[in-house]
Amino acid sequence: MISAYTGTQVREAEQPLLAAGLGDVLMQRAAHGLANAVITELRARGHRLYGSRVVVLAGKGNNGGDGLYAGAFLAARGMRTTAVLTGGAAHPAALAAFRRAGGRAEKLDGAAQDGLAAEAARADVVIDAILGTGATGGLRGDAAGLVEAVSRDLAGADRGGFVVACDLPSGVNADTGEAAEPVLRADLTVTFGAAKAGLLADPGADYAGRVAVVPIGIEEHLPGPALRRLEPTDLGRILPHPARRAHKYSRGVLGIVAGSTQYPGAAVLACRGALAAGVGMVRYLGPPAVADLVRQACPEVVCSDGTVADNRVQAWLVGSGMGPGDHEQLARAADAIASGLPVVADAGALPALPSRLDPHVVLTPHAGELAALLTRLEGRDDARFGDRDAVEAATLDAARKAATLTGATVLLKGPATLVAAPEGTVFSQADGTPWLATAGSGDVLAGVIGALLAQAGPGVWLSRSLGISGGGHWTVLAALGASLHGLAGTAASDARSGGPVTAGAIADAIPQTWGKVSMLSNSGASKRNSHSQPLR
């Protein structure tokens, strides 16, 4: 599992080492890790190190110091290295080391801006070391003008170099991932001590590119993480596996209230997602014409025309493919939410939610749906998140706010899908590909999460082993579903040589993805073998 922290948490963890006089040692470790990452990336792109051109954009604080020390390492390896001092001053010891190693330093002023920006855009590597965790707000003045000019020149260049952010892209908020424009978009962010939460939530994640963590010795001083990310090996450990004496009811039954005469396909796709994700049985409740379609597409599904109370299930999925006029379906959704069982509330169920929920209700909005939900809860005049753009500009805050206001577990879909619990646990999963942004993909996701809730039963599997208990348990299940869905979408695209996928193809890829991640963990392997021991 990847753990990520706020800037403040990381800075507090540095304190004992700074108090012991190890500030320069920490900076050297950070700079060394940054320089090594640059060298690895240059080699991977087929560049010779000697003579490669490096431009360091260096601010006046410690972030600039890291960049200048890294520049000194690279200059010592024979690279042509220029530093642009964006804040008038620079970390004195780092600047001296940079100059000693043969680096050239230029002060940024208005007149020099265009020439320096063009030089940066022609370089093989640009290191963004203007602002780190000590920043207040975004870039200002000449530094902002320089970053705008470099971004513009890089976009227009035939063959630009790559951009490496030092600790975080300057202008990205380390805690929330909000970005104060202009921000130089990085290919790689080399971050120190631990991942920062803002690098794993959009739009920060979008600016950060790939994220690499350089350990600097503060790890034992870090508190509990602000944000977590499951990795494929974690999935293998926490996915359920049927016991030898399992039967379909003990494996979990999911009730699905989804689809309408206008959107019948959503019901089919939700059922396909659920069936692919290991549930013992799916019961479908909906209009007869939709039920006919479900039966044809998925003969495994048991269709029922009874009420929610008539159908014994372990969890419900409600709302996919339903609209405000589907009164009968909405009444069933309300009954399911009132049942006290775990529920996934998707799409059409979101506008009709009661105002107070519990963490076992998992809401699955996309940014537009979350904006509508928050506007309804906060009142139109007070709404900070009045539209999709506002949610996309601050995804972490928006998801957290919705969890706090509703009391539910909130899963905000996107390139980095966030799952927030009212008690503060947050996961960020980014296992997918942009090809997942296809109609019906969210219905499959809802089915997958519903299936996991139905299988969870009263047990909490291994979420306690992840250090999570209580209401946070539901975030683990939802993050597990998001990760499985993302990995399956990626696998489906890979099987098409990186080409497009349909929602149905995502569902079809889930069982194999499940099998593969189970193989990644030893416990997964022993679980699989548990029913095929040799006879004694």
Ligand X SMILES: NC(=O)C1=CN([C@@H]2O[C@H](COP(=O)(O)OP(=O)(O)OC[C@H]3O[C@@H](n4cnc5c(N)ncnc54)[C@H](OP(=O)(O)O)[C@@H]3O)[C@@H](O)[C@H]2O)[C@@H](O)CC1
Ligand Y SMILES: Nc1ncnc2c1ncn2[C@@H]1O[C@H](COP(=O)(O)OP(=O)(O)O)[C@@H](O)[C@H]1O
Least CB distance to ligand Y at residue 429 (A): 8
**Cα dihedral sign for 209, 430, 401, 475?**
negative
Pick one of K ion, ligand X, ligand Y, none as the site partner of residue 329 (Cβ within 5 to 8 A by kind). none
With CA atoms as reference, report the closest residue to 205 among 170, 172, 254, 242. Answer: 172
Pick one of K ion, ligand X, ligand Y, none as the site partner of residue 441 (Cβ within 5 to 8 A by kind). ligand Y
With CA atoms as reference, report the closest residue to 239 among 489, 477, 491, 526. Answer: 477
Q: Which residue, 403 or 448, is less far from ligand Y as judged by CB?
A: 448
Pick one of ligand X, K ion, ligand Y, none as the site partner of residue 59 (Cβ within 5 to 8 A by kind). ligand X
Residue 106 — φ and ψ, nearest 5°?
Answer: -125, 135
Instruction: Output 89-92 pairs: Cβ under 8 A, ≥24 positions apart.
Output: 89/60, 90/58, 90/60, 90/64, 90/65, 91/58, 91/60, 91/61, 91/62, 91/64, 91/65
Partners of 163 in the beta sheet? 126
Contact between 18 and ligand X by CB under 6 A: the answer reads yes
Pick one of K ion, ligand X, ligand Y, none as the site partner of residue 296 (Cβ within 5 to 8 A by kind). none
Buried b (16+ CB within 10 A) or exposed e, 87-117: beebbeebbebbbebebebeebeeeebeebb
Amino acid identity at 100: R
Contact between 66 and ligand X by CB under 6 A: the answer reads yes
Partners of 412 in the beta sheet? 418
Between CA 382 and CA 369 the distance in angstroms is 17
Contact between 133 and K ion by CB under 5 A: the answer reads no
Least CB distance to ligand X at residue 148 (A): 14
Contact between 33 and ligand X by CB under 6 A: the answer reads no
Pick one of ligand X, ligand Y, K ion, none as the site partner of residue 255 (Cβ within 5 to 8 A by kind). none
Least CB distance to ligand Y at residue 404 (A): 22
Residue 151: alpha-carbon gap to chain centroid:
25
- Residues found near ligand Y in the complex (CB under 6 A): 366, 413-415, 417, 432-434, 436-437, 439-443, 445, 485
Site for K ion in 168-207 (CB under 5 A): 170
Contact between 156 and ligand X by CB under 6 A: the answer reads no
Pick one of ligand Y, ligand X, K ion, none as the site partner of residue 437 (Cβ within 5 to 8 A by kind). ligand Y
Contact between 443 and ligand X by CB under 6 A: the answer reads no
Residue 259 — φ and ψ, nearest 5°?
Answer: 80, 160
The single residue listed with the structure tokens 């809860």 is: 377
Work out which of 39, 72, 101, 166 binds K ion, going by CB under 5 A: 166
Q: Which positions touch K ion (CB under 5 A)? A: 128, 166, 170
Q: Which positions touch ligand X (CB under 6 A)? A: 14, 18, 23, 26-27, 30, 59-64, 66, 87, 131-140, 143, 166-167, 192, 216
Binding site as annotated, residues = 62-66, 128, 132-138, 167, 170, 266, 321, 366, 413-417, 442-443
